[in-house]
């Protein structure tokens, strides 16, 4: 009896690490890499930061191997952000090669870590960033890890700014997201969990912040704005997982990996069908556009064919008219006895006329003398004389 086939291995998750400059994103990737190596589950790491000088972990694919950041800045006369965006644009043209490599390795790797530039807007809001994330999400369960600097998020205004940015990234990438509150060794993330789950707690913190150095009080337009945004984001928080980690000590990494597993299941349940519907819609729209182009081409060909047939009819009528005129001329010439002769026939007639005249002179002379042709007739000058006076 044949043995049952082994179950097909699910593709490894692609963890896209995004974070503000200074949030500890690269250190978090390093800690995650060390943790997975310790678990005998080494990840496949992709570095997308072209401006970084030293990376504290081994990279399997590095954008710096394909694009030179400083040469791009010098050649295109760009600044730091423009250079990063241009490098990402150039790298995005090779994303199909990157996917080919990842798909070949997917049976031997357990996860894919993607480290993005610290200039978050260069990746999130650029066309190349959207191409890279969409390409990864089309082949692998993709999860966005948004790294937050916990000590700098203790004030309600900064916390709300981070939440709004996370909301914009979520709806821009349309991928499952995990909020990673980093640096918990310096600041506990309990306040963030409370503010995200208890609206009244955030309101109390907002009132207590009145008169602080940031100028955000419990009254005025800023307080009203923060209150409105907290109410708006209350539903948004339900779709996020919050994990407190420390990239320095490694605390919370296991919780993060559990959250990744849950988001992979969410990706398969919610996000993949949505992506397939969007892809089918794009394909349908592309087919419709091709059909429109084909119809337009056929109409153009019909118009050209009709115009050419009309011109053909005009030419045939003109030829018939010309032939009619020529036939009339030929019939009139035939009636008048002046038909056209070919050049050979004309020359033959002239020769016969010339020979008849000379023959008559020769016969007359022969009859009068009773002798053969006199020598004078054999003289060439006499022949020319006779021809000139005939």
pLDDT digit string, tens, across residues 311-364: 655 555 555 555 554 444 444 444 444 443 344 444 444 444 444 555 665 565
Two tokens at 47?
């570095």
C-alpha of 171 from chain center: 22
Q: Which of the four pLDDT bands, split at 50, 70 and 90, describes residue 64?
A: very high
Q: Exposed, middle or buried by CB within 10 Å (0-12, 13-18, 19+), for 157?
A: middle
- Taking the CB of residue 245, how many other CB atoms lie within 10 A of it? 27
Is 70 exceeded by the pLDDT of residue 127?
Answer: yes
At residue 241, what are phi and psi to the nearest 5 degrees? -110, 130
- Alpha-helical regions (H) of 198-252: 199-208, 221-236
Contact 16, 45 (CB under 8 A): no
- Taking the CB of residue 53, how many other CB atoms lie within 10 A of it? 7
- Residue that is written with structure tokens 């729209």 in the block: 285
**pTM (predicted TM-score):** 0.70
- Taking the CB of residue 259, how many other CB atoms lie within 10 A of it? 21
- Alpha-helical regions (H) of 179-271: 190-197, 199-208, 221-236, 253-266
**Mean pLDDT, all residues of the chain:** 79
Binning the chain into helix, strand and coil, the percentages to the nearest 5 are 65, 10, 25
Strands (E) across 94-218 are located at 112-115, 142-149, 177-182
Is 80 exceeded by the pLDDT of residue 306?
Answer: no
């Amino acid at each position: 009896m044949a043995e049952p086939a082994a179950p097909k291995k699910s593709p490894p998750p692609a963890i896209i690490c995004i974070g503000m400059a200074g949030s500890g994103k690269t250190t978090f990737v390093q800690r995650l890499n060390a943790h997975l190596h310790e678990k005998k589950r080494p990840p496949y790491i992709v570095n997308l930061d072209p401006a970084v000088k030293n990376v504290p972990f081994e990279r399997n694919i590095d954008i710096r191997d394909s694009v030179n950041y400083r040469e791009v800045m010098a050649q295109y006369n760009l600044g730091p952000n423009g250079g990063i965006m241009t490098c990402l644009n150039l790298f995005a043209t090779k994303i199909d090669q990157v996917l080919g490599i990842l798909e070949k390795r997917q049976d031997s790797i357990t996860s894919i870590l993607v480290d993005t530039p610290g200039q978050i807007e260069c990746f999130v809001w650029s066309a190349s960033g959207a191409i890279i994330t969409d390409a990864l999400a089309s082949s692998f369960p993709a999860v966005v890890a948004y790294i937050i600097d916990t000590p700098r998020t203790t004030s309600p205004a900064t916390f709300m700014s981070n939440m709004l940015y996370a909301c914009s990234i979520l709806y821009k990438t349309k991928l499952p997201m995990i909020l990673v509150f980093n640096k918990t060794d310096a600041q506990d993330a309990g306040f963030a969990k409370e503010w995200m789950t208890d609206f009244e707690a955030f309101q109390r913190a907002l009132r207590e912040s009145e008169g602080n150095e940031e100028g955000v009080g419990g009254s005025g337009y800023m307080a009203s704005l923060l209150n409105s945004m907290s109410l708006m984001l209350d539903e948004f928080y339900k779709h996020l997982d919050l994990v407190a980690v420390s990239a320095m000590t490694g605390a919370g990494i296991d919780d993060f990996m559990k959250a990744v597993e849950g988001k992979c299941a969410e990706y398969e349940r919610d996000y993949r069908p949505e992506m397939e519907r969007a892809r089918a819609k794009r394909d349908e729209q592309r087919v419709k556009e091709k059909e429109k182009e084909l119809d337009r081409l056929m109409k153009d060909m019909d118009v050209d064919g009709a115009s050419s047939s009309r011109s053909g009819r005009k030419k045939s009528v003109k030829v018939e008219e010309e032939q009619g005129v020529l036939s009339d001329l030929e019939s009139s010439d035939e009636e008048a006895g002046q038909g056209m002769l070919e050049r050979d026939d004309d020359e033959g007639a002239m020769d016969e006329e010339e020979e008849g005249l000379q023959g008559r002179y020769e016969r007359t002379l022969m009859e009068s003398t009773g002798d053969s042709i006199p020598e004078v007739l054999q003289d060439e000058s006499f022949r020319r004389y006779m021809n000139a006076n005939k």
